[in-house]
Amino acid sequence: MKILKIFIIVFLSSGFFELKSDEKNSELASKILKNVRCLICQGQSVYDSESEFASTIKLIVNKKINEGFKEDSIYEFLREKYGDWIIYEPKLTKNTYILWLLPLLLFLIGGAIIYKNLKIKK
């Protein structure tokens, strides 16, 4: 009887963990797909698109997640096949320095101007 109880607990908990892992995988897939651009339906992410291309990418991403690929390696795979454009968030490279650093620079300049004006008023 005791063995049966243990067996039932182990069986149910394994199902629970499997469910948890499926949930985790599906969350990761959604996160990735929302950050992948649909190349044939401009302005839409693969997550939102129903096109042939998007459904194939969804399939590939799910397959890669189930195979144990990490988020970054899936992005890297898609970048290698389609270039940087396919990912919404661009990587920090020499081509994107301005894109990443300009807002920070503008923020610093703006902050300095405000600080200077406040000092003058005082």
Binding interface with another protein (CB under 8 A): 39-40, 42, 52-53, 55-57, 59-60, 63, 81-83, 85-86
28 vs 60, which CB is nearer to another protein? 60
58 alpha carbon, distance to own chain's centre: 13
Q: Whose Cβ is closer to another protein: residue 42's or residue 94's? A: 42
Closest distance to another protein from the beta carbon of 115 (Å): 18
Nearer to another protein by Cβ, of 12 and 99: the residue is 99
In whole angstroms, what is the distance from residue 57 CA to residue 40 CA? 12
